[in-house]
A and B are shown apart, each in its own frame.
Chain A
Amino acid sequence: MIRVKSYGIEELARLLAVVPPAPAGWVSAAQELPAARRDLDALLARAETDAQLCRRLVDDLEAALADSGIQPTRSTVEAARARLRSS
């Protein structure tokens, strides 16, 4: 569908005000997702051959992630849990 609208100056000003920026920390956390997932992949691959690391991930996942330099955000922790359950 092609929407063709023309706006007056006041309408443009109003529409500019409608979408304030999301908090910068939220945006950067979302932007870091691919790198976090790659780091997680590498960590879980290492855990397959490292029994001590594997135990640590199972015992205290969040701490193990943080120790490995991976920010234990909710989505990263959930993704790690799902991967550990399926492995």
Chain B
Amino acid sequence: MRIYADAKLVDACRRGDDGAWNALVERFSRYVYAICIQGFRLSQQDAEDVFQDVFTKVYESLERLRDDDSFRPWLAQMTRRTCVDKLRSAGRASSALASEPPGTEDVLAVLDDALAVREALAKLPETCREILDLFFAQDESYRTIGELLNLPGGTIASRISRCLEKLKVAMEEGASSSRPASG
């Protein structure tokens, strides 16, 4: 599976490539959702409003993004501002000083790490992607995973373990390829 860098996706979106837009939304939907729910503890209703507002703003403002490599922090900042606006409009935050719940920075740092893990996950074979996502992110049982993926229930735990090892290797490979060349 070919995985495009954020900047390449952003550039393709700007040129009107619907497939790239779909991929961009897919790649960052969890991130935006998690910022709303975990960072700002919005209700599902408010989170849905913010989620749609954020992707609308992204769609309308991509032309103004100066550095395509900075898409993720730009998106995070936009999501934070939209969450704060939502809280303010509901009268739950009255001043800029009280605009973000305590600990938001820490939550966002964890979410950045989680997004890096998901990028590594995207490089694994489909079976590993599905089984790890179903078990950890979607909290499905061994039985449900076995039914969904047509796998014997008794093999799920060992498959999860092997896939986690592969994910660890993918993370390490990603880390070493992002290190600057020495000498």
Contacts and interface: CB of A to CB of B under 8 A. Distances in A.
B118 A19 contact: yes
B30 A20 contact: yes
A57 B104 CA distance: 42
Contacts of B18: 34-35
A29 interface: yes
A81 interface: no
B9 interface: no
Interface residues of B, number: 46
A55 B30 CA distance: 41
Contacts of B16: 34
Interface in B122-163: 132-133, 136-139
B56 interface: yes
Contact of B179 (A4, A20, A22, A33): A4
Contacts of B34: 18-20
Interface in A6-63: 6-9, 12-13, 15-23, 26-27, 29-31, 33-35, 37
Contact of A7 (B30, B32, B117, B179): B117
A20 B132 CA distance: 11
B113 interface: yes
The SS class assigned to the A binding surface is helix
A2 to B, nearest CB: 5
B7 to A, nearest CB: 15
B63 interface: no
B171 A22 contact: no
B70 to A, nearest CB: 11
Interface string A53-84: 00000000000000000000111000100000
B77 interface: no
B105 interface: no
A74 B33 contact: no
Contacts of B180: 2
Contacts of B53: 75
A9 B38 CA distance: 23
Contacts of B22: 31
Given A4-B179, A12-B117, A18-B114, A30 B25 contact: yes
A22 B175 contact: no
A9 B172 CA distance: 12
Interface of A: 2-9, 12-13, 15-23, 26-27, 29-31, 33-35, 37, 73-75, 79
9 contacts: A6-B175, A7-B168, A9-B164, A16-B132, A18-B34, A21-B137, A22-B29, A26-B51, A75-B53
